[in-house]
Amino acid sequence: MSLLTVIVPCYNEEESLPIFYEEIKKVAESFKKEKVEFEFLFINDGSMDKTLEILRGLSKKDKRVRYISFSRNFGKEAAMYAGLENAKGDYVTLMDADLQDPPALLKEMYDLITKEDYDCVGTRRVTRKGEPPIRSFFARCFYKLINKISKTEMVDGARDYRLMTRQMVNSILEMKEYNRYSKGLFSFVGYKTKWLEYENVERVAGETKWSFWKLLIYALDGIIAFSTMPLMLSVLIGILFCVISFIAIIVIIVKTIVWGDAVGGWPSMVCILFFLSGIQLFCMGVLGAYLSKTYLETKKRPIYIVKETEKSNKN
């Protein structure tokens, strides 16, 4: 018998959870003949609705259901980390509660790992149907950019939904960094990964927790976590401007010697000043961004705080 852990991060998912549970139960049923047992590990990421009550109910009804409830909202990255840390399975999968990650794919993923020589089967959306076009556009730009400036490969459209072997999970857990960007971490550890492609599925209930700004910040976090190119870029811009100013100085000296000193060009001077201060502030910002991440990293704060689990809940 082997054990498969399904990790489900939940943040305000009272509407989706019951539907999700019914679906995943069916999938677990279909695995019976493979001699695979299931463990459902729900992470309640500080939900403000009835998510926790639902999880308490499920864990009482079904021994396979475990849950970890955070003391507040720590974000999906923290929830995934908590799930990976507490999963007991020989195989571990991460799945959204909104059924955007089709549980039916799990069988194919399992077969690929057990019958073929893969350590991980990931999924990627080949369409972005149902998403605002502007969001898809920026997402595509982001993937192009990050793949140019980072050595770690990020697959466009890759979901967090994947099945991994215990060995790979342990490798991921060895990276205890505070600023977690899982898409990068999964890719960083290597191992043989097979990608399954599927068409985008819309949420069954509730709504997405990601606003455009949240996604933008997340994208910047990803760049900072997996590339030092922006720092290098600041250096290059600095050098470029030194060269330009050096040439300009020579031009001005020559002009003054040849034609004498004519006061003029104040407006252009102001423009140049503004431009250069802008560049300086930008570069300082880039530096600051890395520094702030280092600052957070050195504090070694816990990635998540647990308030309740199915074991601690006595009532």
Question: For ligand UDP, which residue of 73, 86, 147, 179 counts as binding (CB under 6 A)?
Answer: 73
Q: How many other CB atoms are found less than 10 A from the CB of residue 104? A: 11
Does position 45 bind ligand UDP by CB under 6 A? yes
Q: Please give the Cα distance from 52 to 309 (Å, whole number).
A: 10
Contact 70, 44 (CB under 8 A): yes
Cα-only R_g, the chain: 25
Does position 181 bind ligand UDP by CB under 6 A? no
Does position 96 bind ligand UDP by CB under 6 A? yes
Helix pair 51-61, 16-30: axis angle to 10 deg: 30
Contact 41, 6 (CB under 8 A): yes
Count interface residues toward Mg ion (CB under 5 A).
3
Q: Would you call 129 helix, strand, or coil by DSSP?
A: coil
C-alpha distances in Å from residue 34, one per residue of 114, 234, 298: 11, 55, 46
Does position 76 bind ligand UDP by CB under 6 A? yes
Return the one option of ligand UDP, Mg ion, none that residue 45 interacts with (CB less than 5 to 8 A, by type).
ligand UDP
The tokens for 105 are 């794919």
When CB distances to Mg ion are compared, the closest residue is 100
Shortest Cβ 192–Mg ion spacing (Å): 27
Choose between 98 and 119: whose C-beta lies nearer to ligand UDP. Answer: 98
Choose between 107 and 209: whose C-beta lies nearer to ligand UDP. Answer: 209
- Rounded to a whole number, what is the largest CA-CA distance in the chain? 94
Does position 310 bind ligand UDP by CB under 6 A? no
Does position 15 bind ligand UDP by CB under 6 A? no
Q: Would you call 150 helix, strand, or coil by DSSP?
A: coil
Shortest Cβ 300–ligand UDP spacing (Å): 22
Q: Would you call 220 helix, strand, or coil by DSSP?
A: helix
Shortest Cβ 75–ligand UDP spacing (Å): 5
Choose between 10 and 36: whose C-beta lies nearer to ligand UDP. Answer: 10
* CA-closest candidate to residue 16, choices 80, 87, 130, 103: 103
Residues 70-129 that bind Mg ion (CB under 5 A): 96, 98, 100
- Residue bearing tokens 């057990």: 114
Q: What are phi and psi of 302, to 5 degrees?
A: -65, 150
Return the one option of Mg ion, ligand UDP, none that residue 210 interacts with (CB less than 5 to 8 A, by type).
ligand UDP
Return the one option of ligand UDP, Mg ion, none that residue 77 interacts with (CB less than 5 to 8 A, by type).
none
Does position 97 bind ligand UDP by CB under 6 A? yes
Q: Which residues bind to ligand UDP, rule: CB under 6 A?
A: 9-11, 13, 45, 73, 75-76, 79, 96-98, 100, 208-210
